[in-house]
Amino acid sequence: MIESLKDYNYPHFSYIKNLRPRPEILLGREMYWTEKRDGSCLGISLTTDDEWLIRSRKREIAADNLKAAFFASEQDSYVKELILHGREFGSDYIVFGEIMTPGKSPARFETHEDYEFAVFDIMQASTGDFLTYPAVYQRCYQSGVPVVELYSKSQHFSMENLMDFRDKMLERCKDMGREGVVAKTWDLVDNLKAVGHNENYIYVKEKLDSIQPDLVTDRDIVGTRPILPPLPESEIYTAIVSIKEDLGEDFSNPKIAMPLIVKAVNTESEKHCCEHVKNIFKYYQESL
């Protein structure tokens, strides 16, 4: 049984073009494309005494405001039913979902009137493996828990066809008012272990406001310094929200919050090969 979520953080994953060793590892695999909701990631389970375990993306124990938001969504009894039902069949689940709060979402893609919670993954704690989307959907349906919408299922045998389909999925996101799409496959073979891939899944994300590597065909140079693209605002807001979740009430103190925010935003700039953000304090003020 699980007594702590310290070692069960949800994985970070990249865009298709950034996959290692090459994005071609997706070819021939059955892929499930789901909406990417714009909220805060929670991992949820129960102890042996059926006490709640709730973590955020960066913290073993989620901030009080995130836990309160989950209970305000009124999905706690349904999530508990899902976890306890799994135990009846020998499975100890960690439910990963997105909590959305009233107002503008972290990356500004959605607006909510009420608290909402939607499951996007379920992990089998004993193995660290994720359930497939059909299995996640089945368990959520049986327990009455909302689950992210499936946009499509596909299989591709050329990168050109895959990227064309990616573009169609992003158009669907735009129509539905979502920040992006997540593509998942669990149809893996043993030869992936030869390149250091030991998980039972490959996940990728694509976002509406992110510059795709295949679209950057030229870059202007001034002297010896490349002119990099700006960091998408959704990445700035998401980085700031993660600090807000970590600090709680201390977030309102700029002497405490700003150094952490600058570091987090600069990390995102470097990760996405974008220019450092110059007026981060403006975004901090908006988040207040």
Residue 42, strand partner residues: 56, 97
Amino acid letter for position 201 = Y
- Report the pLDDT value the prediction gives residue 197, as an integer from 0 to 100: 55
Reference 264, options 249, 247, 286, 288; nearest CA is 247
Reference 242, options 254, 251, 230; nearest CA is 251
Q: What is the largest CA-CA distance in the chain?
A: 66
Q: Which segments of the chain does DSSP mark as H helices, in order?
A: 64-72, 76-88, 133-143, 159-176, 233-247, 254-271, 280-287
At how many degrees (to 10) do helices 133-143 and 76-88 cross? 120
CA atoms of 122 and 145, how far apart (whole Å)? 12
- Report the pLDDT value the prediction gives residue 178, as an integer from 0 to 100: 92
288 residues of the chain, pLDDT tens digit each: 788 899 999 998 889 988 887 888 898 889 999 999 999 999 999 999 999 999 998 899 999 999 999 999 999 999 999 999 999 999 999 999 999 999 988 878 888 899 999 999 999 998 888 999 999 999 999 999 999 999 999 999 999 999 999 999 999 999 999 989 999 998 665 555 545 556 778 999 999 877 555 555 455 544 555 667 888 888 898 899 889 888 888 899 999 999 999 999 998 888 777 888 988 999 999 888
Q: 40 near 63, Cβ under 8 Å?
A: no
Distances (CA, A) of 130 to 105, 123, 199, 263, 267: 26, 4, 9, 31, 28
* DSSP 8-state class, residue 232: P
DSSP annotation string for 116-168: EEEEEEEEETTTTEEPPHHHHHHHHHHHT--BPPEEEEE--SSHHHHHHHHHH
CA atoms of 135 and 121, how far apart (whole Å)? 10
- Report the pLDDT value the prediction gives residue 275, as an integer from 0 to 100: 84
Print burial letters for 116-126: b (CB count within 10 Å at least 16), e (below 16): bbbbbbbbbbe
What is the model's pTM? 0.78
> For residue 177, what is the enclosing H or E element?
none
- Report the pLDDT value the prediction gives residue 221, as an integer from 0 to 100: 47
φ, ψ (nearest 5 deg) of residue 100: -110, 135
CA atoms of 203 and 4, how far apart (whole Å)? 25
